[in-house]
Amino acid sequence: MMKKAVYPGTFDPVTNGHLDVIKRGSVVFDALVVSVGCNPLKDALFSVKERMEMIREHVRDLKNVEVDSFNGMLVDYLKKQQTNIILRGIRTISDFEYEFQRALTNRVLNREVETVFIMTSEQYSFLNSTLIREAVSLGGSVSPFVPPYVESRLIEKFKHMHRKHTE
């Protein structure tokens, strides 16, 4: 039986830590769907389409990885994807507490849902998209944390935003 998992997230932007989890998850599962969630409670820097494009750019060599997006409840999206497995990356103890609560909530919503955690490689354990966006907005380099293509997209996005604010 083929094992398929969904790795959901906002990926705003995708980081080397995310890509690490994707690569490692692609070895564990026969099929992995990296799915960009549309969260109305978060103000995203990049559109869903842009985020999907940045992820696709970096997973094209992983033949069992697909990039998609979803709106609404993750448990409903899992049914659409015909799987009951969620993949999540864990960086820190606080991540585990947060993800543990989410996993239990998803299981209450659908008893068949299982969450599988992969520990992020130690060199990415402190990374998060918010810190990366903040660093670029202040003119810092984030080259150790994101692929060059993502860094160039971030720089361009903030240049464009800066021009809008100074006009």
Say how far apart CA 166 and CA 161 lie, in whole Å.
Answer: 9
Just list the catalytic residues: 18, 42, 91, 129
At 105, list the tokens.
């909530």
Q: Which residues contact 11 (CB under 8 A, 6 or more apart)?
A: 18, 34, 36, 51, 54, 55, 129
Pairing of strands 65-70, 85-90: unpaired
